[in-house]
Structures are given as C-alpha cells and as structure tokens.
C-alpha cells in the first residue's frame, strides 16, 4: 500500500514528495467572479450562492444568539465538558505567546518604542456542511481572544436545513462568540474581506477550507491579512526499530482520514519496521468506516522512505518541512535538536498528532506544503500588529541632523536633507 523508496544510496533532495498546488486557473477564475459579485451585491450575492452551491434558501445570514446558546444547552454534557477542558489547555498554551510593548532610551532625553496592539476585528472560517469541526472553532478563536481582538466574526457553511452545525455553534458558545454567520465557500471569504450589510469587514481572516476558500484567501490578501494558504494535511514519522508499528500505522491512518489528498510518510532505517507498519495498516483498515477513502489517500500519497541512518532521515525531514512531524526514536530529544523545519513536532510514541489536533494546547492550524521552512503555526501573533514609535528630543535631533542629511544627500534626496538640517536651528 505504501510506496517504498530506498534512499540508502541516494541523496534525499532528489526524491522529495511533490507539493500539491493550492488551486488552478479554473478555480481562480470561478473565485474571482464570486469575489466581484459579493463586493458589488453584498448579502444578495451570499443568498444567491447559498442556493447555487449549498442548495438552501437562507432565512437569515446571521445566526440568532438564541440559536447559538440553544445549541450549547442541547449539546451532550460530556462533549461540552471535553470542549471546555480542551479550551482551557489551548488558552493556557497561547497565553504564553503574549508579548508586551517595550521602550528603550535613545540618549539625550529621546525614546524608542515598539507598540503591540491587536487588530480590531478578525474573521474565522470554519468548514461545515457535511461535517462539523468544533476543534477549528477553538483553535482559531482562542488565540484571537488571548490577543485581545475586539470583535470576532465566525462564518460556516449551511447544512441541508440552512443552518450552521450545532457542534460548531456549541463550541462558539463555550467561547462566548455571538457574531456567527451562515455562509461558506469563497463567498464567505469575500464577505469578510469586503463587508456586507450583515457581515462586517474584518482585518484578518483565518481558518481552513477547500481549494475555493484557499484561493479566495490568497486573492484578498493585501486587502486583509490572512493566516496562510493551506494545502492538504500531511504527516511525516521519523522512526527507528524501537517504534511500535501499531502506533505508527494508526497515526498514518488518522492522517489519511482527512481527505484523499492527505499525505502520510514514514522515514526509517528499518526495513522490518516498514514491513510491520504495512501489515498493521491492512489490519486496521478492515475495521474503519472510512477505509475506502483512506486507501485512496495512502495509494496516492502514502510513502515509506528507507534511509541509511537517522542522520539521512533528519536531512530528508528538513527538506520536506512537514506540517506534522512525529519523532519516535530511542533518542528523540537528540533528533529534535537537529530539526529545523516542521510545523508541529510530537516526541515519543505516546505523543500522537491526534492529541495535538484536539487537546494538548498548541495550535493545530499549521504550515503545509513545505511552508514550514519559513512559516509558523497560527498563534496570538497572527492577530497583533507592531508599531514603532520614535520620540527625539531637540538636543538629540540636533546631534544627528548633519549625518542624517548627508545620508539623504548620498541617495540624492535633497528634501530629506532639508528636513533634517532645519532642526539644527536654535529657533526651529
């Protein structure tokens, strides 16, 4: 089932898995039309696309508060308890990401500062329709709340009844979110970016979605901020002969359960481990309701790389820059110190990705498609902006005006030089 690639006599760079394109020209053309229509027609366009794409007539784009908190009251009590526990863990982790403004003396009575402030309004996209993802609500909303965002607007596609899924509403209610809108797809991103009569314009848009949502986020970037343009989900497991093949197989199956484009990769020096994982995959697939889809994902993007040693394995991991990385080796802390590129890292056989998906606390919105080379998980910093503040005293400005003016003249900017030299005058 897994495509096995022997790298023991090869250089890892030559066999990197291909990254999936986020969208194609046809998708972008469709999304461009949607953006234009929503910008021009607002709520009417949203109702039009709900009929066209979701097959429902929206009675109301905005979800009434009674419905939001009614979903919480009617939810399974044990599930609500789990939601609250998970939310506490996520909040506690993200509170450590909060940074403060700072100020340093610049000499002669001057100061240099950096102000850190939250954006005023954030938009959170939560996939829906066929399935519910309350974990997406927690992971995207809580960092914004910790950052101090004034207003959080949540959008999620309607189900066949024209409603936002009750589990999404329950998770939002746990967090106290009241502005929820029953709209999905690229049209929801457009509404958040441009604003409509019902949906306010936001400053930052976060949250996962399909290729149309991803394309829309990319197209509105610049008008608003975004978290990232997400590609298919992925896991790389770097393991040695000490690893439990049942655990590894289960983690690869869990990753492949996302969709048919999900990628599951095993990297190991042990041929025995590859064979054992293959057997375990076949064993557990017989018990899983979504087995057919998982098989398609594994056949398309399931790989096992046999490396000559863990050093070559580390090199391959750093080149792949995976969204999720599990390190299951005898010396996992030593291996961790060599990892440069990964979105979220899970150490040891009792730290599966699934615990990060729902409960541990770190964010599960992660860089995909190799972007972990330069990008980071969703965090409090996604929702804040920094401003520099310069306050020079008269004495300080006089002391630097001439070198500043000469620097400007060196670049041919004489008005800049004038601006600096005027401050030299005693009567300025």
Q: What is the DSSP string of 257-308?
A: TS-TT-EEEEEES-HHHHHHHHHHHHHHHTT-TTHHHHHHHHHHHEEEEE-S
Residue 21 token pair: 């394109």
pLDDT value at 129 more than 70: no
| Tens digits of residue pLDDT in 359-406 | 999 999 999 999 999 999 999 999 999 999 999 999 999 999 999 999
Beta bridge partners of 384: 118
**pLDDT attached to residue 18:** 59
pLDDT above 90 for 39: yes
Give the mean pLDDT of 36-58.
97
The whole-number pLDDT of residue 395 equals: 94
The model's pLDDT over 194-227, given as tens digits with 9 standing for 90+, comes to 999 999 999 999 999 999 999 999 999 999 999 9
Looking at residue 287, its pLDDT comes to: 94
Over residues 163-181, the pLDDT tens digits come to 999 999 999 999 999 999 9
Cα–Cα distance measured from residue 392 to residue 384, given in angstroms and rounded to the nearest whole number: 26
Provide the mean pLDDT of the chain: 95
pLDDT at position 376 is 96
| C-alpha–C-alpha distance, residues 141 and 153, integer Å | 9
Per-residue confidence (pLDDT) for residue 61, from 0 to 100:
98
Domain with CATH 3.40.50.1980 in the chain: 3-16+240-374, 42-226
As a whole number of angstroms, the distance between CA 73 and CA 82 comes to 15
Confidence of residue 82 (pLDDT cuts 50, 70, 90): very high
Q: What is the pLDDT of residue 128?
A: 87
Write out the two tokens for 205.
């848009």
Q: Residue 12 pLDDT more than 80?
A: no
Q: Which of 165, 258, 324, 364 is catalytic?
A: 324
Give the single-character DSSP code of 91.
H
* Per-residue model confidence (pLDDT) at position 341: 98
**CA dihedral sign, ordered 58, 62, 67, 71:** positive
CA 356 – CA 265 distance, rounded (Å): 18
Q: Which residues of 65-92 are buried (b: 16+ CB within 10 A; e: fewer)?
A: eebbbebbeebeeeebeebeebbebbbe
pLDDT of residue 425: 73
- Write out pLDDT tens, residues 135-162: 999 999 999 999 999 999 999 999 999 9
pLDDT band, residue 288 (cuts 50/70/90): very high
With b for 16 or more beta-carbon neighbours within 10 A and e for fewer, the 119-147 pattern comes to bebbbbbbbbbeebbbbbbbbbbbbbbbb
- Copy the structure tokens of residue 113: 């500062």
Q: How far, CA to CA in Å, does 66 sit from each of 84, 156, 157, 221, 407?
A: 20, 17, 19, 34, 63
CA distance 158 to 67: 14
The model's confidence at residue 427, banded by pLDDT at 50, 70 and 90, is low
Query: 278, 323, 326, 349: which one is catalytic?
Result: 323
Active site residue 324: yes
Using a pLDDT cut of 70, give the percent of the chain over it: 96
CATH number of 42-226: 3.40.50.1980
Prediction pTM value = 0.93
Distance of alpha carbon 242 from alpha carbon 230, whole angstroms? 33
Is 323 one of the annotated active-site residues of the chain?
A: yes
Report, at the CATH architecture level, how domain 3-16+240-374 is classified. 3-Layer(aba) Sandwich (3.40)
What pLDDT is attached to residue 131? 75
Tokens of 403: 């070198």
357 versus 13: the higher-pLDDT residue is: 357
For 294-344, the pLDDT digits (tens) are 999 999 999 999 999 999 999 999 999 999 999 999 999 999 999 999 999
Six-digit token string for 135 = 């974990």
């Amino acid at each position: 089932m897994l495509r096995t690639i022997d790298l023991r006599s090869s250089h890892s760079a030559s066999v990197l898995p291909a990254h999936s394109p986020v969208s194609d020209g046809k998708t972008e053309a469709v999304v461009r039309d949607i953006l234009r229509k929503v910008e021009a027609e607002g709520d009417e366009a949203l109702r039009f696309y709900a009929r066209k794409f979701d097959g429902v007539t929206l009675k109301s784009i905005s979800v009434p508060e009674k419905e939001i908190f009614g979903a919480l009251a009617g939810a399974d009590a044990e599930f609500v308890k789990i939601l609250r526990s998970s939310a506490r863990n996520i909040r506690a982790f993200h509170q450590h990401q909060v940074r403060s403004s700072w100020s340093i003396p610049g000499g002669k009575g001057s100061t240099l500062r950096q102000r850190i402030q939250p954006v005023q309004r954030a938009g959170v996209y939560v996939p829906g329709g066929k399935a519910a993802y309350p974990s997406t609500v927690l992971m995207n909303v809580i960092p914004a709340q910790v950052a101090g965002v004034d207003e959080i607007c949540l959008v999620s596609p309607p189900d066949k009844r024209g409603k936002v899924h009750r589990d999404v509403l329950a998770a939002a209610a746990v967090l106290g979110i009241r502005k929820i809108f029953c709209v999905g797809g690229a049209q929801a991103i457009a509404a958040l970016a441009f604003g409509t009569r019902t949906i306010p314009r936001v400053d930052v848009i976060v949250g996962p979605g399909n290729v149309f949502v991803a394309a829309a986020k990319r197209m509105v970037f610049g008008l608003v901020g975004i978290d990232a343009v997400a590609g298919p989900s992925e896991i790389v497991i770097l393991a040695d002969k000490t690893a439990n093949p049942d655990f590894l197989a289960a983690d690869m199956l869990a990753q492949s359960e996302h969709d048919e484009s999900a990628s599951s990769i095993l990297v190991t020096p042990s041929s025995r481990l590859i064979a054992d994982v293959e057997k375990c995959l076949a064993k557990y697939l017989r018990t899983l309701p979504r087995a057919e889809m998982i098989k398609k994902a594994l056949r398309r993007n399931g790989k096992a790389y046999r490396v000559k040693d863990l050093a070559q394995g580390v090199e391959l991991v750093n080149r792949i820059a995976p969204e999720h990385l599990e390190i299951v080796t005898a010396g996992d802390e030593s291996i961790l110190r060599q990892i440069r590129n990964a979105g979220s890292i899970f150490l040891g056989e009792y730290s599966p990705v699934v615990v990060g998906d729902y409960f541990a606390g770190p964010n599960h919105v992660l860089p995909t498609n190799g972007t972990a080379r330069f990008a980071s998980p969703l965090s409090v910093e996604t929702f804040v902006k920094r401003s520099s503040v310069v306050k020079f005293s008269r004495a300080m400005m006089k002391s630097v005006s001439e070198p500043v003016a000469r620097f400007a003249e060196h670049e041919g900017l004489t008005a800049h030089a004038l601006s600096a030299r005027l401050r030299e005058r005693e009567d300025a």
